[in-house]
Amino acid sequence: MRNDLASVQAFLASVIPGHAPIPDEPALAETAARFVTGNGRLTPAAQVDIYRRQFWLRHREILRDDFPALARLLGEDKWNAFCRDFLGVHPPAHAAFEKLIEPVPRFAETWTGLETQAERTFAADLARYEIALLEVRTGPDAPPLDPQMLARLPEDAWERARIVLHPAMRRLSFAYPVHRLRKAWLVSGEPAVFPDAPSPAHIALYRNRELVTHFEELEPEAATLLDLLAEGVPLVPALGRLAEPLPEDRQAHVAASVGRWFQQWTALGIVASVDLPSSS
Amino acid sequence: MTAPARMRLGLPDLGIGVGLRLPHYEEIFETRPKVDWFEIISENFLVPGGVPLANLDRALAHYPVIQHGVTLSIGGTTPLDFEFLRDLRTLLRRTKSPWVSDHLCWTGTATLNTHDLLPLPYTAEVIRHVAARARIVQDTLEVPLVLENVSSYLTYTSSDMTEWDFLTAVVEEANCGILLDVNNIYVSSENHGFDPRAYVDAVPAERVVQIHLAGHTNYGDYIIDTHSGPVIDPVWDLYRQAIRRVGPVSTLIEWDEDIPPLATLLAEAERARVVREEALSHAK
């Protein structure tokens, strides 16, 4: 058997993510002795097993740091099982923790450790929200919107002006109001339990000028409008596309609300700038 | 013999620093405690913007900040990650850190990142491999690279030299600096049964540009480098020995698990200052 650097690393990388103590696995223990010396107190397998235990403890805590509400919801035993199963399917391949946690919502959506699809959907929503919180906290900066620039825009500008949303802002739609529940659990200390029934919610998650993260609940039409603006559709055409499939009463509601929405998004820093392309 | 400061790769002695950690941010920014410098974990600040970089800028306004990394994997066998190195260089321009440190270790393979600092086999083949990569990293980052000895919990059948001979050969061949973690020396000496004083005596003094001090956790059959708790007396003794040999060198207290109140951490830093001064006066 080769004993060069790559072989040593390949062996350790193959055994470190495992579960059972390596000394209990005779074939692995035998291979470990080819690469690792052991000492008077620890066999080669026991020495390698230190790294296996550290791997598990470290990654369980990384996941707990990034998903504190999900961990609290599941409780210690189920959280351990969730992490074991997740790391088994998605072993960390990158140094960046963002890559490690990226698949957590999709994994939660199908994790059989939860009893019902409703629970899985809720857990996936919660995981998506907790990832978005991290993204908003560390997302790109943008200078504050210049109100003078808005005032200088000509009347017809809204036909073609692209509204630039803050690059760190996230638009999210959930089957459950995970944003409110997480706050109740982690800030108010309420018990973390699965809700009885879904209650769809749309939010804009943003950080204010003091870099504190907040959520703003959105009406469904406001959420759709933000989606269209994020695609780069100018405001007036976006309103047209938004209104087209709506019944008359909702069209009237949008017409009555859009000024207030826009004002609010501007005040909160969700709108970062307005980009007016040259008429040529 | 004490190495003259000018020989230490031209890098300054910053005095006594502590790790900049999240639970202490507000107190540090509000009270601006007497700390000579802070060390950051570079990877925590490799983000597009927002809170981490704003906090970093607040620290930079009042203190020197040195970058310390954990994911370089200088001994890895997968290609160097140049995107990561470019991001690191961008951060270096922000911090103006006069050197950048990481660990003499490997962290993973193409399919698994352990997020751990695994020891390397101590062989001539590995010295060549690591030194070649370290030279590339140093050229890319455009500041001196400083490599830290890691704590280890296993030894390889293929190793054919001591850890200190290996460390010396790597930094000589790569022409880079040493971050001498005397707690790691102590931990590994207990785990593997070597004389830690022989290690401190053997490293090339003129290449030691920084020292780390930390606590650890003793499990009986082995010790883990947890960075938890205060520095123990045998590690202070090794620090005295290192300072007597190396001279005045930037020293940092690491405390990452069960992080104490800032006052406790600063008291540990003050102890390091006293020990360092005593050791220097004995070296004269």
Provide the 8-state DSSP code for A36: B
- Residues of A within 8 A of B75 (CB-CB) are 5
Taking an 8 Å cut-off on Cβ atoms, the answer to whether A39 and B191 are in contact is yes
User: Collapsing DSSP states into helix, strand and coil, what is residue A278?
Assistant: coil
Nearest CA-CA distance, residue B70 and chain A, Å: 9
Tokens representing A250 are 């909702």
Closest by Cβ to B156, choosing from A35, A96, A168: A35
Q: Which residues have CB under 8 Å from B171's CB, separation 6+? A: B147, B177, B178, B204, B207
Instruction: Pick the closest to residue A133 from A168, A174, A106, A104 (CA basis).
Output: A168
Q: Do A50 and B51 touch (CB under 8 A)?
A: no
pTM of the model: 0.94
How far is the C-alpha of B168 from the C-alpha of B162, rounded, in Å?
10
The 10s digit of each residue's pLDDT in A108-145 is 999 999 999 999 999 999 999 999 999 999 999 999 88
Q: Please give the average per-residue pLDDT across B22-44, as a whole number.
A: 97
pLDDT-derived band at B6, boundaries 50, 70, 90: very low
**pLDDT at position A85:** 98
Q: What is the pLDDT of residues A59-85, one digit of tens each?
A: 999 999 999 999 999 999 999 999 999
A194-198, B201-205, B255-259, B280-284: which has the minimum mean pLDDT?
B280-284
pLDDT of residue B284: 63
Partner-chain residue, chosen from A12, A47, A138, that has the shortest CB–CB distance to B47: A138
**Which uninterrupted H or E stretch holds A227?**
helix A220-230
| Dist CA A169 CA B46 (whole Å) | 19
- Please say whether the beta carbons of A271 and A254 come within 8 A: no
Contacts of B273 (CB under 8 A, 6+ apart): B15, B16
Positions of chain A with pLDDT lower than 70, given as ranges: 1-2, 279-280
Over 50: is that where the pLDDT of B155 sits? Answer: yes
Residue with tokens 């980009």: A275
Can you tell me whether residue A207 is helix, strand or coil? strand
Cβ–Cβ contact B110 with A under 8 A = yes
Mean pLDDT in chain B?
96
Q: What is the pLDDT of residue B7?
A: 52
Taking residue A234's Cβ as centre, other Cβ atoms within 10 Å add up to 21
Best probe of the B interface among A2, A8, A135, by most B CBs < 10 A, is A8
Pick the residue from chain A with its C-alpha nearest to B110. A93
